[in-house]
Amino acid sequence: MDEQLEFLREIDKLKNVIRKTPLIDNYRKENSAEHSWHLAMYALILSDSSDQEIDINRVIRMLLIHDIVEIDAGDHPIHESTENENQEALEIEAANRIFGILPDSQGGDLIKLWREFEEGVSNDAAFAKSLDRMQPLIHNIETDGGTWAEANVTESQVNDRYGPTISSGSTGLWGKAKVMVKNHFA
């Protein structure tokens, strides 16, 4: 139990990883811990919107842990062109260090779950990634453009950067999102 409590103390640091996305009231930027809570709620509420058959409990777990590597590796917003080529290596190292605090089999299971999310291939991961792309889209629209306005992102760039990921998990969600995006840029 000591290792488990040490891990739970360590991940408190995720509350200080600041994302680019604003809160809906536009008063401050979102942190990755509260973002992870919000996404777990997206999964709980929207579970019926997945095109494929999913295990919603696994999707919720995936979303609870999906950003923990950012404690070491930082957040990497999709609209920044300065892509760090070592990012993948950094994140794997972070996963090994942080989940490695846990007892072996528990840590190993979470590393596997995180890798499944990153790969985005399984039904559960595709739906999780779809929600992870949907939520900031809604926040940007609610804040007069949010990170799109900051980075001069166009409607067609939004469609290119959000559409494939959202629709690969849920064509219904992307149908809604597409109309919202169109109205926003109109």
Least distance to a second copy from the beta carbon of 40, Å? Answer: 5
Q: Cα separation of 100 and 21, whole Å?
A: 29
Smaller CB separation from a second copy, 59 or 125: 59
Binding mask 88-127 for a second copy (x = CB under 8 A): --------------x---x---------------------
DSSP sequence for 71-96: HHH----TT-----TTHHHHHHHHHH
Binding positions for a second copy, 4-23, rule CB under 8 A: 4-5, 7-9, 11-16, 23
DSSP 23: P
Q: Which residues of 30-62 are buried (b: 16+ CB within 10 A; e: fewer)?
A: bbbbebbeebbebbeebeebbbeebeeebbbbb
Using DSSP's 3-state secondary structure scheme, residue 14 falls into helix
Least distance to a second copy from the beta carbon of 163, Å? Answer: 17
Pairing label, strands 29-31, 18-22: antiparallel
Total of residues contacting a second copy (CB under 8 A): 45
The residues binding a second copy (CB under 8 A) are 1-2, 4-5, 7-9, 11-16, 23-25, 27, 30-31, 33-34, 36-38, 40-42, 44-46, 49, 57, 60-61, 64-65, 102, 106, 135, 138-139, 142, 172-173, 176
